[in-house]
Amino acid sequence: MFPRVQLKLNDRVIIDSEGVSSEVEGSTLTFKLKDSDTIPMALDSELVTVGGWKLNVISLIDSKASSQMVVSGWHSFGKLVPMNRLLIPFLYSTSLDFIRFRFSGIEPHWTRLLRLCYWFEKCLEMNDGNFHYKQMEIKRAIMKPLKNVESTLNDKGRRFIQAMEQLNKTIASYTSELKFPALVKMYGHRTSFDKNHDSILDGFPSEVKSIYSHATIEEETTGIPKLNIRGQVIGENVNPYDEFFKFVFSRKVIGHVSKAYNQGGKIIFVDVTHTFASFLLYMLSTQKGTNLSFDKALSNAMTLITSAKEKRLPVIFVSSLSSYEQLVLALLVPIPLKVLSKTL
């Protein structure tokens, strides 16, 4: 049977898989889902249920989110991409983790879809006439990897996992491209979508890049898969400040920032949620007197960008952490243009 997963913080339900119905016959694990299980429903102001799981949107999506906004976003986004088709691979990959590795992640994989739908709905609220450009871009970008995943659904091995990895990255990248303009608007700045840039922030072109740690699945001769995650092993005496700036000025990160600058970006957002740098930002945030709020980073960036003498590019590194309330950490790093010119 699929194990029950439940997480509560201070009596707040964060996730609960109580509604998952499954049975085992021989070597086959079967999930029993009703049609209603494939469409999210708001249980109260915080909890959404979908796929048999209860998920807290304040903890997993945004501290100001509401369950009804997430549900509305699901239906709105469904006008672009058929959500019944999009949900199936995420249901499958969640169960596949348990079947292959005998563990289930803390949150089901389709939580990523709920995040995308919420920020899509928030961008619809902006009533920006140029948002249709971004909508068509998102539709084209998602449909290709979705079709690739669908063609591998009967493949219980590497082809499905690799195709799913690409779909996951696409979903996460566009979630960031919707989330950051919505947050910018929330903090009182002018923002709009643009045909040639990810968004325009107070009149300045803005670009968004997402960076991921790399994981691979390898088949052992025993038939048991081995999960390899590439990354640096760091000891107990780690200096989070030093390690974070090693990450920032690594070839991979500077390459992404240089590309964004070459695309005309005057202010750059880099989502590092899916890297070890996310943990480093959290460590920095716990230091006394440290303010890693999105609002503060944005304010510092606007001060830098309006300084005519500066020859540095404002780059905001952002991480989102699931907790009692969703926590967004952000840090402005002014990167000298001469550093970027070496990679262009």
Whether residue 144 is contained in a domain is answered as yes
Whether residue 30 is contained in a domain is answered as yes
At residue 97, does pLDDT exceed 90?
Answer: no
Contact 116, 70 (CB under 8 A): no
- Residue 132, both tokens: 């249709």
Quick one: pLDDT band at residue 340, thresholds 50, 70, 90?
confident
- pLDDT value of residue 22: 64
Domain that holds residue 87: 6-191
Same domain, 69 and 116: yes
Whether residue 55 is contained in a domain is answered as yes
Backbone angles phi, psi at 229, to 5 degrees: -115, 120
* Average pLDDT value for the chain: 87
Q: What percentage of the chain carries pLDDT values higher than 70?
A: 84
Whether residue 203 is contained in a domain is answered as no
* Interval 209-251: pLDDT, tens: 999 975 444 545 554 445 444 555 455 567 899 999 999 999 9
Contact 89, 137 (CB under 8 A): no
Q: How many domains does the chain have?
A: 2
Same domain, 242 and 187: no
Whether residue 60 is contained in a domain is answered as yes
Q: CA Rg, the chain, in Å?
A: 21
Same domain, 181 and 53: yes
- pLDDT value of residue 100: 54
Quick one: pLDDT band at residue 23, thresholds 50, 70, 90?
low
What is the amino acid identity at position 158?
A: R
Same domain, 79 and 217: no
- pLDDT value of residue 307: 81
Closest listed residue to residue 207, CA positions, set 250, 270, 124:
270
Least confident window among 231-235, 236-240, 301-305, 319-323: 231-235
Same domain, 281 and 143: no
Same domain, 80 and 179: yes
Whether residue 204 is contained in a domain is answered as no
Same domain, 159 and 65: yes
Same domain, 170 and 246: no
More confident residue, 121 or 156: 121
* Interval 77-92: pLDDT, tens: 999 999 999 998 998 8
Same domain, 73 and 156: yes
- pLDDT value of residue 227: 45
At residue 8, does pLDDT exceed 60?
Answer: yes
- pLDDT value of residue 103: 45
Whether residue 97 is contained in a domain is answered as yes
Same domain, 177 and 216: no
Same domain, 38 and 179: yes
* Interval 139-155: pLDDT, tens: 999 999 999 999 998 76
Please count the CA atoms within 13 angstroms of the CA of 231 that sit on its side-chain side.
19
Quick one: pLDDT band at residue 318, thresholds 50, 70, 90?
very high
The per-residue DSSP string of 202-228 comes to TTEEEEEEEEE--EEEEE-TTS-EEEE
Whether residue 197 is contained in a domain is answered as no
Q: Is residue 61 packed enough to be buried (19+ CB in 10 Å), middle (13-18) or exposed (0-12)?
A: buried
Same domain, 154 and 56: yes
Quick one: pLDDT band at residue 185, thresholds 50, 70, 90?
very high
* Interval 59-69: pLDDT, tens: 999 999 999 99
- Residue 252, both tokens: 């991979």
